[in-house]
Structure 1
Amino acid sequence: MNVKSKEAYRKMMGRKYLFLLSILVAIFLTFILDIMTGPASLSAKEVISTIFFPAYSERSVQVIVWTFRLPVALMAVVTGITLGLAGANMQTILDNPLASPYTLGISAAAGFGAALAIVFGVGVLPFADTLFVPVNAFVFSLISCMAIYGIARFKRATSETIVLTGIAVLFLFDSLLALLEYTANPEQVQAIVFWLFGSLTKTTWTTLGITVGIVLLVIPLLAIDVWKLTALRLGDDKAKSLGVNVERMRLKGLILVSVLTSTAVAFVGTIGFIGLVAPHIARMLVGEDHRYFLPFSALSGAFILSTASVLSKVVVPGIIFPIGILTSLIGIPFFVWLLLSKKRGYW
């Protein structure tokens, strides 16, 4: 490597580390701001001291921070990471810049599972009676994954096969959900619609712990394939020539995306556009090298959802809007801009 190449490489890595530091600082600031905002406003000093030195804080502030706001703020970050990773992996394995976790109908299946629990009061796992809705959402999401996996494996796992199968699953569960809503009473319909909006307010330390545990299990499985995923971006033929089993990579990626998305939607409902927007932000910042692309997609998702969580509480003082509404309002302009700026070559 000559001197110019070394200098260019150092500059490139310097930019990546600068982007990393910037996004970490941005996430920290929005995280603290998320805890500060709400019906009872808190100062940054109160928030930080209560988190790190709770014994020296007022009892009322401890309850507000540790019982209500801290788990919600953490769930915003963790769910953003989850959807960002899922979206990045999805766009890579399908070679489609407009792909997201919802392309496969996973969120539609989760919505149907949740509606089933709301309308009939029964769950797939009878022993989880206190978690009927999230457990049903998770199980039906995995059912949709297994259906897509089975069909894709039978018909060979090309990206076109997976996308078309996902669209079929999407319409199937959307139709079943509409049927449930038609037969439900007004109170049940209201509960279904609220769940479908997506909300972080129902987060508990238990649901946060489950989500974090699953994400920590999936991340190493993605990390060991970063070079294979990068090779996949070169095209199927090139990836095969480099020794990548393309079909196996797609099926493995499909399963991991489904697990990540199922976990996210099970506890917070359907949240759109994070899985679409976050990977494109990461791609513009650090390119296609998945050693950096995947972490930056996760961090971009965390920042977007944490920002949306703050906005959901400050748009109209005293009212907390469902987070899914805010992410869609943020994501739609970016989506349009993405379509209009395709010539810039980010994909």
Structure 2
Amino acid sequence: MIKTQQLENNVNRELYNAMIKRRVALSAVLLAALFALVILNIFIGSSDITLKEIIIAIFLKEGKGHTVMIVNQIRLPMALMAVAVGAGLGMGGCEIQTILRNPIASPYTLGITNAATFGAAMGLILNMNVVKASEPLMVTTNSFLFALLASVLVYAFSLRPGAGKNGIILFGVALNFLFNAATMILQYIANDEDLKSMVFWNMGSLLKTTWTKFYIVFSVVVVCFIVFYLNSWKLTAMTLDDTKARSLGVDTQKVRQMVILLTSLLTAVSVCFIGAIGFVGIIAPHIARQFVGEDQRFFLPLSAMLGAFVVSVSFVVSKIVIPGVVLPIGLVTAMIGVPIFLFIVFRKMRTL
């Protein structure tokens, strides 16, 4: 009897180790793909620069003409910003889906992105500072506060008796329309210059990326990832119902508050610097879940990497579809994301 139990334990341990190895191998492949995409995004541009010249410009700061400036001050920060923003959106979608237990929830579908967009529009068009922050931080602060407002509204609605998962999504859709309409009103009263800036910004673009902007987004993504990962077992428990999660010692209310706060911050810094990018927060976690399940030790980092992968691929596509023209990256992610989103919806309908 004891030998049989030991044999079963050994088999289970081998299966677990094999599963861990597969997940680590998948992560390594994705990291390699991300590195290749960063190089590809640096390589593709209006100026022809060879791979050798790119490596020399990055590591030795040497090159012909404006090569060093083009590589280090324009293309490299844009390529890295695509990774940082994609990772942040993937993480935000991952955790919003976790606390709401809904695979089609995301900062975009719940109205958080449009709320952040409205906050940014108030700064760009009305020059309105909600909390009297310094002028360089005005747009970021406005975006964050309105993203937080939308998140709190969604959370408050989720606490109402009878508010099911579908009801929460519908409430988020209503918030989407509300903040989108408010943004359109601001666009209607804007002057031509502000309107052009707002429309261009709202479509999502990496073209105005600077090292300072990248460092801010990267810092927020890293801090949020660390906090999420340190609470990975609590977040994994949140995939159960609240009663079971609390029986495991998880303070579900505090975990939801943490996710709302950090997801709002991730959404705000992404929106205020490069504009609204939709669907990444839906498709990245959904694909990650198919590979690794709900275990946050793997679900979280894989969602971040897949989000970075989607945005990086979209950035490549935006530069090659029309020669000499860089399409807004938000349009490309929508073209990629809509078919996948519809697939998720139809698949969910079949399981009901």
Do the two structures share a fold, i.e. TM-score over 0.5? Answer: yes
SS at 1:198 equivalent: coil
Q: CA deviation at 1:71?
A: 0.7
Letter in 1 for 2:52: K
1:314 and 2:320 aligned: yes
Please say if residues 110 and 262 of structure 1, whose CA atoms lie closer than 8 Å, have aligned partners that are also in contact: yes
Please say if residues 112 and 174 of structure 1, whose CA atoms lie closer than 8 Å, have aligned partners that are also in contact: yes
Q: CA deviation at 1:152?
A: 6.2
Please say if residues 221 and 266 of structure 2, whose CA atoms lie closer than 8 Å, have aligned partners that are also in contact: yes
Q: CA distance change for structure 1 residues 150 and 235 in 2, over 3 Å: closer, same or farther?
A: closer
The match for 1:270 is 276
Aligned mate of 1:294, from 287, 296, 300: 300
The match for 2:134 is 128
When the two structures are superposed, what TM-score results if normalisation uses the length of structure 1?
A: 0.90
Counterpart Cα distance in 2 of 1:135 and 1:41: 39
Q: CA distance change for structure 1 residues 340 and 145 in 2, over 3 Å: closer, same or farther?
A: closer
Q: CA distance change for structure 1 residues 206 and 139 in 2, over 3 Å: closer, same or farther?
A: farther
Aligned mate of 1:14, from 18, 21, 24: 21
Q: CA distance change for structure 1 residues 243 and 135 in 2, over 3 Å: closer, same or farther?
A: closer
Counterpart Cα distance in 1 of 2:294 and 2:148: 29
Q: CA deviation at 1:21?
A: 1.2
When the two structures are superposed, what TM-score results if normalisation uses the length of structure 2?
A: 0.88
The match for 2:224 is 218
Counterpart Cα distance in 1 of 2:11 and 2:278: 43
Counterpart Cα distance in 2 of 1:236 and 1:188: 46
Counterpart Cα distance in 1 of 2:27 and 2:339: 25
SS at 2:313 equivalent: helix
1:141 and 2:120 aligned: no
Counterpart Cα distance in 1 of 2:147 and 2:243: 32
Q: CA deviation at 1:248?
A: 2.4
Counterpart Cα distance in 1 of 2:10 and 2:81: 46
Structural mapping, 1:51-62, within 5 Å: 51-54=58-61, 56-62=62-68
Describe the superposition over 1:195-241 as per-residue Cα deviations: whole angstroms up to 9, x where unpaired: 11011111111111111122222222211211111112132232222
SS at 2:250 equivalent: coil
Please say if residues 155 and 161 of structure 1, whose CA atoms lie closer than 8 Å, have aligned partners that are also in contact: no
Q: CA distance change for structure 1 residues 187 and 64 in 2, over 3 Å: closer, same or farther?
A: same
Structural mapping, 1:223-234, within 5 Å: 223-234=229-240
Please say if residues 152 and 165 of structure 1, whose CA atoms lie closer than 8 Å, have aligned partners that are also in contact: no
1:247 and 2:253 aligned: yes
Please say if residues 81 and 297 of structure 1, whose CA atoms lie closer than 8 Å, have aligned partners that are also in contact: yes
Where does structure 1 lack aligned partners over 5 or more consecutive residues?
none
Q: CA deviation at 1:181?
A: 2.2
Counterpart Cα distance in 2 of 1:132 and 1:242: 42
Counterpart Cα distance in 2 of 1:4 and 1:169: 50
Please say if residues 128 and 135 of structure 1, whose CA atoms lie closer than 8 Å, have aligned partners that are also in contact: no
Where does structure 2 lack aligned partners over 5 or more consecutive residues?
1-7
Q: CA distance change for structure 1 residues 240 and 136 in 2, over 3 Å: closer, same or farther?
A: closer
Aligned mate of 2:74, from 55, 59, 68: 68
1:29 and 2:36 aligned: yes
The match for 1:339 is 345
Q: CA deviation at 1:80?
A: 0.6
Aligned mate of 2:47, from 34, 40, 47: 40
Counterpart Cα distance in 1 of 2:40 and 2:47: 13
Please say if residues 118 and 188 of structure 1, whose CA atoms lie closer than 8 Å, have aligned partners that are also in contact: yes
The match for 1:3 is 10
SS at 1:104 equivalent: coil
SS at 2:42 equivalent: helix
Please say if residues 104 and 345 of structure 2, whose CA atoms lie closer than 8 Å, have aligned partners that are also in contact: no
